[in-house]
Amino acid sequence: MKAIVQDRYGPPDVLELREVDTPVAADNEVLVRVHAAALNAYDWHVMRGDPRMSRMTFGLGRPKARIRGRDFAGRVEAVGAQVKRFRPGDEVYGDLGHANGAFAEYVCVPDDMVASKPVNLTMEQAAAMPLAGITALMGLRDQARTQPGQRILVNGASGGVGTFTVQLAKSFGAEVTGVCSTRNVDLVRSLGADHVIDYTRDDFTRDGRRYDVVFDLVGNRSLADHRRALTPTGTLILSGGGVFEGGSLIGPAGLIMRGQLVSRFVRYRLLTLDAKPGRENLVALSDLAEAGKITPVIDRTYPLREVPDAIRYLEGEHARAKVVITVAARG
């Protein structure tokens, strides 16, 4: 099969399209023919081994997992002896977690890391949901414990996680304010945001408004800045998709680490978020998608051979929403 393979850390040029062996499903796995896969910041941070401390997890000299990609959607080709939930032909989607391997024509995944694809979504839309959608869901449902009428601000509302966060917060009955750049104001408003702040013109930390929840997906403001935007009993959620996705120690990862250190000493609730892939959360996302509560937003699509170009775009061009890789045609 064809796959995007990486043998060393570095820029997108280290990614190569190669022929590799097609995997064989273990007893608890399903073999999926991948139709679409989605990019996350996670992918390019692993590609570069940045920050360097992440190499303790992903491989000291080179990545342990040679094929990049976490999020995928496709059709089941074969199932292991212990798998009862799925059968060949089923359309599914999922998140491989740290195992990686989605930028390929086939992938094996444990059956508890995959769920039935929402019937009203395309393969590309479904592939865009897992990591970003679960991050938004866990932040709002499990950590913020969002209630109707709460005022929620989303810093980074036009990004992959942000576009899901805005929609989910509205579905929970919150009053939502999205922060984004000028070119994305209309997008964020179309997702249901009650208020949109253009950060090139206004500073949400100094306009006097207070929020019950601030969900920070950017990491470009200090903890003191965030505190000014919160009510006295408000909740600040910091997420870079996990410390190892946050970039350098002066970006989101640094803010998350500082937040973890001071969280027990502040009066407001300060929480850091690391999304956990798994069937339960995927099923919850499927239910929300099929009910029309969330619709994945796709910025661009690229064919499998152009994964390096897709990552260059994600790294440097301020991509909005999700960037998706098309792997195989349906049929």
Residues of the chain with pLDDT under 70: 51, 53-54, 56, 59, 240-269, 317, 329-331
CA dist 75 and 213 (Å) reads 39
**Fold of the domain built from segment(s) 131-272:** Rossmann fold (3.40.50)
Percent with pLDDT over 90 in the chain: 70
* CATH 3.90.180.10, the chain: domain bounds: 2-129+298-326
Number of helices (H), then strands (E), in the chain: 10, 15
CA dist 196 and 193 (Å) reads 7
For residue 100, the model assigns a pLDDT of 87
For residue 305, the model assigns a pLDDT of 97
* CATH 3.40.50.720, the chain: domain bounds: 131-272
DSSP annotation of 138: I
Q: Are 118 and 314 in contact (CB under 8 A)?
A: no
Tell how strand 322-326 and strand 29-38 pair up.
Answer: antiparallel
Which DSSP string corresponds to 104-128?
A: BSEEEEEGGGEEEPPTTS-HHHHHT
pLDDT per position as a tens digit, 178-216? 999 999 999 999 999 999 999 999 999 999 999 999 999
- Cα atoms in the 13 Å half-sphere on the side-chain side of 272: 23
Pick from 98, 86, 74, 95: which is nearest to 29 by CA? 86
Q: Does domain 2-129+298-326 have CATH number 3.40.1280.10?
A: no
For residue 263, the model assigns a pLDDT of 47
CA dist 245 and 88 (Å) reads 34
